[in-house]
Each structure stands twice: as C-alpha cells, then as structure tokens.
Amino acid sequence: MKKQKIEIDLEVFETISELPKDIQELMNKAQQARENAYAPYSHFRVGAALRLSSGQIVTGNNQENAAFPSGLCAERVAIFNAGANFPNQIITTLAITARSENQLTTEAIAPCGACRQSLSEYEKKQKSPIEIYFMGETGNIIKVASVMDLLPLSFDAKYL
C-alpha cells in the first residue's frame, strides 16, 4: 500500500476590484445573469459567464422546474449554451457567482459535482484549461487554473 496526496492550487482574491479587468467584466456579466435566474423553489440564484477565445462572453443561470430534477445549474446552462452556439471556440475562463434570497452568501460557491463533470468534457475536448473564478454574493473570490483542479481522478471518454 502506498499513500498519495492530491493538492490543489487556489488563488484567493479579497474583492472584485483586485481581479484583472477582463475578469471583473466577466464576473459582472455573471452577476447580471444571476439576477435573471429562474429559482422560485430554492431561492438560490447562480450566474455563470464564459469567455471565448474571440473575447465574446456567453452566460447562463440556474433554471429550476416544479419537477425538481428537471432543472439545470447555471454552469451547465452556460457551457451548453457555448457548446451549442460556438462549438469550435476555445473557452478560456469561467466566472460564477451565487446568492441566496434568504441570507447573505459570503462564501465562495464552487460548482456542483455534476457541473464539474460537464465542464471537464469541454475542457478535455478543447485540450486547453478553463480558468474558473467563483464567489458568493460578497466575500472572497477563488480562482483555480483548470476544471481538473476541481475534479481530480476524473472519468472521461478514454475509458469507453
């Protein structure tokens, strides 16, 4: 038996103003998208904004459904939006922000496991990492350099 450790490199920013200008713009778009979320059941609004290599921004937000599992997270709405409309463009960056209608969300909100899996498919397809910045409504912004930082030991097409 051999023990191994997996480490993740995170960058932590204290405020949006500390972020590079293009990331501030992306996070602002994610915030706008968040406000258009359809979240009548959870009252938890999530916005996601992707930057394409062309510079264009593609957004998404969570879309809920009375049949709960039929809804979809913001990150997947955004990445499927990009995959559907810009299938040949490289996605360089993803910004995510979330807020609850019930309390102030001060912790950085990371994408759920299913979204990490969906995001990994596109990162592997394009063979270049997607930087991810995520935050709550206020508080720290966390950056990871790649989807793989959030999904080590991932499952992918090579096993099929």
74 contributes a contact to ligand THU by CB under 6 A: yes
How far apart CA 116 and CA 134 sit, in angstroms, is 13
39 contributes a contact to ligand THU by CB under 6 A: yes
75 is catalytic: yes
How far apart CA 74 and CA 62 sit, in angstroms, is 4
| In the complex, least distance from residue 111 CB atom to ligand THU, rounded to whole angstroms | 4
How far apart CA 7 and CA 82 sit, in angstroms, is 30
73 contributes a contact to ligand THU by CB under 6 A: yes
Can you say whether the dihedral through the CA atoms of 60, 29, 85, 147 is positive or negative? Answer: negative
Tell me the window of 10-18, 69-77, 118-126, 141-149 that interacts with ligand THU (CB under 6 A): 69-77
47 contributes a contact to ligand THU by CB under 6 A: no
Nearest to ligand THU of 23, 46 (CB atom): 46
134 contributes a contact to ligand THU by CB under 6 A: no
Nearest to ligand THU of 59, 62 (CB atom): 62
Residues 74 and 33: beta-carbon distance below 8 Å: yes
Residue 97: count other Cβ atoms within 10 Å of its Cβ.
30
75 contributes a contact to ligand THU by CB under 6 A: yes
The residue from 75, 121, 123, 137 that is catalytic is: 75
How far apart CA 1 and CA 77 sit, in angstroms, is 42
**So which residues are the catalytic ones?**
75
